[in-house]
């Protein structure tokens, strides 16, 4: 993994949102595949094409509860002139090879049971007297209650064609067919198919393990007492939830104090369980911005290609950002700003695509759409910066909630979309067609 | 919980899809709320209105890294004629009450740090010389590298208005405001707000625990050898995945043999961890349909209101269905047919809404839309039954995949929608506008 930036770099370069994202996506690589149990692979991306090893169904079987018969024996049967057949026994699902149906004979057969040799079709039980001699029945009596019904005679009231109510071997898939293509995301129906062809495990890209760490000496954990100058840590909770939402296995590390050595140790301790590190806070231009202090020079001591670069982005909120890799495995690290709205917006724009890239997904971004801006007054935006305002989207319109302030968490909690104000716009009038990121 | 059916009942009544669903939704009740840690409540529904206990921010604080000043001291400041102020020390985030800014003084202040008494505004560090005496700077040097910068003098090159770069106490939310309404689903932004107001736990309806049990003596677990007449168990995998997808905590119990007593014991053993039981197979009219046999009469021995009713639905696939409750807690149970496609479609139509009702969600159904049927030939459908064919939806059109057979798992794995053919239609021509259930 390399963090060599493809663009002009350094403290002075103002990165565009697209340049920063491009650098992240050019650097982060899908995780190495591992073999997982089927249910552990839910939501993961298949790495190999999967070929069907054995045809489905593996044998001709009945699609109904009824009687396996020879077609000639029921030709012309009617309620008035039923065909009367000798019942030679039951074929239940899971049984095979026990019975052979000869002329004038029928085997009572259950849905899914193999069609016995000699039989050519299945007559549904509702077309028979079920062996009771009292006209058409609605179903069979339970074997445990009426064992005698597996013998005796059955009256069949309707003829049937060859192969009627028989599911042919291989009619679902044939051995050698492609079951699923590499790249398929495994949802319930794909898991159904893999199980059906006998696959108990499957090679996929695993869910990335994401460690979320908030930093700041002012942060207190919820349910504790606030002293003067303190606030509650919300970023570590919000981004852990957001990382899970993106598909990751997320670990929360709350509120590391603003001390570079403490922070560096904390990050190094977490690397063992991290495929991706996310920090919040400490990336701006202040004298206590210890994430920057702790990580800006890690490349010096690490292997080539490692290092975290701190940047200014032409973006609001979320101007200061850090990105790079750290530790012996070059674990990618995104250092997000500490204001709650800044960190959340940065997560959606940069971390979510990184997580989904690690999973091997190709569709890594939130969906976007166009909407008509509904507002009392024009939106204002700083020139040269792409602004992401919080909004509510409905039926082709979007309405801003709260203001531009990056501390407005309550408004964020009412939003379901981001309104994108491009770099060259300083004002957007109500009624304008705007780009909207749907937060889903 | 009562299973008293609001409609004509009994073996002979053919239930419509809507009647069966209505009965389920009238019977299943949201789970009792419990207090969960914030991150354990992700995706759950809030039970109480949440009121803000303390204003956010809890104190006036700086939105920038810079200097806290008195407005009069920087009035008229310019690069040519900077205001020169005595720096009395640092205010970092998390500190409070240490400094008082008097006339001619400034405190170096970090983003999020409380505005010290006496100060009226914050000047961003970029508008100053950062104490270095060499013109405007891009940022502060780290405290650990340059501790002397917290003292000495600072040159300020621009004036600023009162309250500039100050986030007022309560400007996000005020104590006593409604933070979130009962019924809110807790996603990352809502979790952010709860943490920000100090809530470490929250009362929600928990995720339901769903036990998925497949039945059938023909079923073999994936990765084992198939003998004659056997197939692999796929339902328990598919429906466990689907239950998780719907929001449940799902437990898979694979392949109980077709013996009523064994099955009954297996179900009773699982009740301790089940808020909802789902079985597949054994509900039709065959002599080995042991789910029906084991559960059809449980009400006799249980408390009043308990019991499972087996029904025929005017539906394809998925005609035979069981629904009711079982055990001392009247745990709801849905007994689905055993064909893989039947069980999956039944899950989507009936179990998913039940799970989401247990969670306290109001939007319990898959989204539906209208689409134009794209097909080579008309679709045929049995009169009087609502048919759900598998299809692929794209851009307002839907194309069937595979046929109507309820054993066609491979086609199911390529589908992303169900095409609904109404009860009164026996044929649907290409180009017809049809209802589509989006499987998402």
The token pair that represents A107 in the structure block: 């085997």
Kindly report the CATH number assigned to the domain that includes residue B111.
2.170.190.11
Residue B304 has pLDDT above 60, yes or no: no
The token pair that represents A135 in the structure block: 């006209």
Touching check for B413 and chain A: CB below 8 Å?
yes
The token pair that represents B248 in the structure block: 């449940």
Distances (CA, A) of B69 to A53, A100, A377, B123: 76, 99, 33, 7
The token pair that represents B95 in the structure block: 């500190």
Residue A135 CA to residue A147 CA, distance in Å, equals: 20
Kindly report the CATH number assigned to the domain that includes residue B403.
2.40.340.10
Strands A427-428 and B249-256: unpaired
- Domains contained in chain B, number: 4
Report yes or no on B389 lying in a domain: yes
Residue A124 CA to residue A44 CA, distance in Å, equals: 42
The token pair that represents A233 in the structure block: 């840590």
Q: Which range is least confidently modeled, B266-280, B282-296, B346-360, B361-375?
A: B282-296
Minimal CA–CA distance to A340: which of A411, A270, A401?
A: A411
A193 shares a domain with A154 = no
Please report the pLDDT score of residue A304 as a whole number: 56
A69 contacts A85 by C-beta, under 8 angstroms: yes
Residue A74 CA to residue A69 CA, distance in Å, equals: 8
Burial of A146 (0-12, 13-18, 19+ CB in 10 A): middle
A269 contacts A253 by C-beta, under 8 angstroms: no
Residue B359 has pLDDT above 60, yes or no: yes
Report yes or no on A4 lying in a domain: no
Distance from CA of B223 to the nearest CA of A (A): 5
Residue B250 CA to residue A201 CA, distance in Å, equals: 19
Cα–Cα–Cα angle for B416, B420, B426, nearest 5°? 135
The token pair that represents A33 in the structure block: 């595949």
Please report the pLDDT score of residue A305 as a whole number: 57
Distance from CA of B90 to the nearest CA of A (A): 9
B308 shares a domain with B243 = yes
A285 contacts B139 by C-beta, under 8 angstroms: yes
B121 contacts B163 by C-beta, under 8 angstroms: yes
Residue B54 CA to residue B348 CA, distance in Å, equals: 44
Across the range B49-71, mean pLDDT stands at: 96
Minimal CA–CA distance to B353: which of B292, B276, B416?
A: B276
* Chain B residue at shortest CA distance from A261: B144
Considering only CB atoms, which chain A residues are within 8 Å of B144? 260, 293
The token pair that represents A88 in the structure block: 């030679």
Confidence of residue B227 (pLDDT cuts 50, 70, 90): very high
Please give the ipTM for the structure prediction: 0.93
Report yes or no on B43 lying in a domain: no
Q: How many CB atoms lie within 10 A of CB A280?
A: 31
Cα–Cα–Cα angle for A327, A329, A334, nearest 5°? 65
Q: How many CB atoms lie within 10 A of CB B252?
A: 19
Touching check for B162 and chain A: CB below 8 Å?
no
B201 shares a domain with B219 = no
Report yes or no on A67 lying in a domain: yes
Question: Could you tell me which residues are beta bridge partners of residue A220?
Answer: A232
Minimal CA–CA distance to B242: which of A259, A195, A103?
A: A195
Q: How many CB atoms lie within 10 A of CB B203?
A: 15
B186 contacts A244 by C-beta, under 8 angstroms: no
Residue B302 has pLDDT above 70, yes or no: no
* Chain B residue at shortest CA distance from A218: B94
CA within 13 Å, CB half, A245: 24
* Chain B residue at shortest CA distance from A415: B189
B338 shares a domain with B226 = yes
| Yes or no, beta carbons of B140 and A285 under 8 Å apart | yes
Burial of B362 (0-12, 13-18, 19+ CB in 10 A): exposed
Q: What is the mean pLDDT of chain B?
A: 93
Touching check for A252 and chain B: CB below 8 Å?
yes
Residue A165 CA to residue A123 CA, distance in Å, equals: 7
Confidence of residue B8 (pLDDT cuts 50, 70, 90): very low
Kindly report the CATH number assigned to the domain that includes residue A311.
3.40.980.10
Distance from CA of B401 to the nearest CA of A (A): 12
B239 shares a domain with B151 = no
What residues contact A91, with CB distance under 8 A and at least 6 apart?
A62, A68, A98, A99, A107, A108, A109, A110, A113, A114, A116
Report yes or no on B8 lying in a domain: no
Query: What percentage of chain B's residues is helix, strand, coil (to nearest 5)?
Result: 20, 30, 50
Grouping H, G, I as helix, E, B as strand and the rest as coil, residue B192 is helix
Considering only CB atoms, which chain B residues are within 8 Å of A408? 171-172
Minimal CA–CA distance to B43: which of B310, B330, B246?
A: B246
A286 shares a domain with A197 = no
Distances (CA, A) of A376 to A322, A430, B68: 36, 7, 34
Per-residue pLDDT of chain A (440 residues; tens, 9 = 90+): 344 444 445 557 899 999 999 999 999 999 999 999 999 999 999 999 999 999 999 999 999 999 999 999 999 999 999 999 999 999 999 988 779 999 999 999 999 999 999 999 999 999 999 999 999 999 998 888 888 888 899 999 999 999 999 999 999 999 999 999 999 999 999 999 999 999 999 999 999 999 999 999 999 999 999 999 999 999 999 999 999 999 999 999 988 998 889 999 999 999 999 999 999 999 998 998 989 888 876 655 555 557 899 999 999 999 999 999 999 999 999 999 999 999 999 999 999 999 999 999 999 999 999 999 999 999 999 999 999 999 999 999 999 998 878 888 999 999 999 999 999 999 999 999 999 999 98
Considering only CB atoms, which chain A residues are within 8 Å of B39? 237, 240-241, 252
Please report the pLDDT score of residue B223 as a whole number: 96
Confidence of residue B4 (pLDDT cuts 50, 70, 90): very low
Q: Which residue has the higher pLDDT, B359 or A133?
A: B359
Confidence of residue B413 (pLDDT cuts 50, 70, 90): very high
Considering only CB atoms, which chain A residues are within 8 Å of B410? 52, 56, 172-173, 177, 179, 193
Touching check for B142 and chain A: CB below 8 Å?
yes
A309 shares a domain with A211 = yes
Across the range B307-313, mean pLDDT stands at: 93
Burial of A172 (0-12, 13-18, 19+ CB in 10 A): buried
Please report the pLDDT score of residue A345 as a whole number: 97
If you search the block for the tokens 């004659």, which residue do you land on? B228
**B 58-87 residues inside an 8 A Cβ radius of A:** 58-59, 63, 65
Of A138, A192, A199, the CB nearest to B409: A192
Please report the pLDDT score of residue A301 as a whole number: 53
Residue A22 CA to residue A16 CA, distance in Å, equals: 10
Confidence of residue B144 (pLDDT cuts 50, 70, 90): confident
Q: Of B155, B182, B205, which residue is a domain's last?
A: B205
A185 shares a domain with A42 = yes
CA within 13 Å, CB half, B37: 6
Strands of B104-171, DSSP E: 105-109, 121-124, 153-156, 166-167
Minimal CA–CA distance to A140: which of A113, A169, A167, A102?
A: A113
Across the range B180-195, mean pLDDT stands at: 97
What is the domain extent for residue B434?
A: 368-438
Residues A42-79: tens digit of each pLDDT? 999 999 999 999 999 999 999 999 999 999 999 999 99
The token pair that represents A367 in the structure block: 């969906």
Minimal CA–CA distance to B24: which of B356, B386, B424?
A: B356
B346 shares a domain with B394 = no
Please report the pLDDT score of residue A148 as a whole number: 85
A182 shares a domain with A235 = no
Touching check for A175 and chain B: CB below 8 Å?
no
Please report the pLDDT score of residue A178 as a whole number: 96
B351 shares a domain with B211 = yes
B350 shares a domain with B211 = yes
Q: How many CB atoms lie within 10 A of CB B94?
A: 22
Residue A418 CA to residue A31 CA, distance in Å, equals: 29
Report yes or no on B3 lying in a domain: no
Q: Of B358, B393, B418, which residue is a domain's last?
A: B358
Residue B303 CA to residue B333 CA, distance in Å, equals: 15
Residue B6 has pLDDT above 50, yes or no: no
Report yes or no on B286 lying in a domain: yes
Report yes or no on A7 lying in a domain: no
Residue B245 has pLDDT above 70, yes or no: yes
Burial of B152 (0-12, 13-18, 19+ CB in 10 A): exposed
Please report the pLDDT score of residue A6 as a whole number: 45
Touching check for A222 and chain B: CB below 8 Å?
yes
Distance from CA of A76 to the nearest CA of B (A): 24
């Amino acid at each position: 993994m390399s963090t060599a930036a493809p663009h002009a770099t350094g403290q002075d370069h103002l990165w565009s949102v697209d340049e920063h994202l491009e650098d992240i996506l050019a650097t982060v690589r899908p995780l190495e595949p591992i073999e997982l149990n089927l249910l552990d692979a839910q939501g993961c991306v298949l790495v190999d094409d999967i070929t069907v090893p054995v045809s489905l169904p593996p044998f001709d079987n009945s699609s109904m509860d009824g009687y396996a018969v020879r077609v000639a024996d029921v030709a012309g049967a009617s309620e008035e002139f039923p065909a009367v057949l000798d019942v030679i026994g039951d074929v239940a699902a899971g049984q095979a090879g026990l019975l052979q149906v000869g002329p004038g004979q029928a085997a009572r057969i259950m849905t899914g049971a193999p069609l016995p040799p000699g039989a050519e079709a299945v007559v549904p039980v509702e077309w028979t007297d079920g062996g009771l001699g009292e006209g058409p029945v609605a179903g069979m009596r339970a074997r445990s209650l009426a064992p005698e019904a597996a013998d005796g005679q059955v009256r069949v009231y309707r003829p049937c064609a060859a192969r009627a109510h028989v599911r042919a071997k291989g009619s679902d898939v044939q051995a050698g067919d492609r079951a699923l293509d590499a790249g398929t995301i495994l949802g319930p129906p794909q898991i159904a198919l893999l199980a059906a062809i006998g696959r108990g495990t499957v090679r996929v890209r695993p869910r990335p393990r994401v460690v979320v760490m908030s930093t700041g000496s002012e942060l207190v954990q919820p349910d504790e007492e606030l002293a003067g100058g303190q606030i509650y840590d919300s970023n570590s909770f919000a981004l852990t939830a957001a990382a899970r939402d993106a598909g990751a296995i997320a670990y929360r590390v709350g509120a590391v104090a603003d001390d570079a050595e403490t922070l560096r140790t904390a990050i190094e301790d977490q690397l063992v369980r991290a495929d991706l590190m996310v920090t919040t806070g400490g990336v701006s231009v202040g004298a206590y911005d210890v994430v920057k202090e702790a990580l800006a020079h890690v490349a010096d001591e690490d292997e080539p290609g490692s290092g975290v670069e701190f940047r200014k982005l032409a973006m609001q909120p979320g101007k200061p950002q850090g990105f790079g890799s750290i530790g012996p495995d070059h674990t990618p690290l995104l250092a997000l700003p500490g204001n709650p709205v800044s960190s959340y917006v940065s997560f959606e724009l940069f971390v979510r695509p990184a997580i989904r890239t690690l999973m091997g997904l190709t569709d890594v971004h939130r969906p976007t759409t166009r909407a008509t801006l509904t507002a009392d007054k024009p939106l204002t935006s700083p020139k040269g910066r792409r602004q992401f305002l919080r909004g509510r989207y409905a039926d082709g319109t979007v309405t801003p909630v709260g203001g531009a302030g990056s501390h407005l968490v309550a408004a964020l909690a009412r939003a379901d979309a981001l309104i994108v104000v491009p770099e060259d716009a300083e004002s957007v009038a109500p009624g304008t067609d705007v780009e909207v990121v749907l937060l889903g």
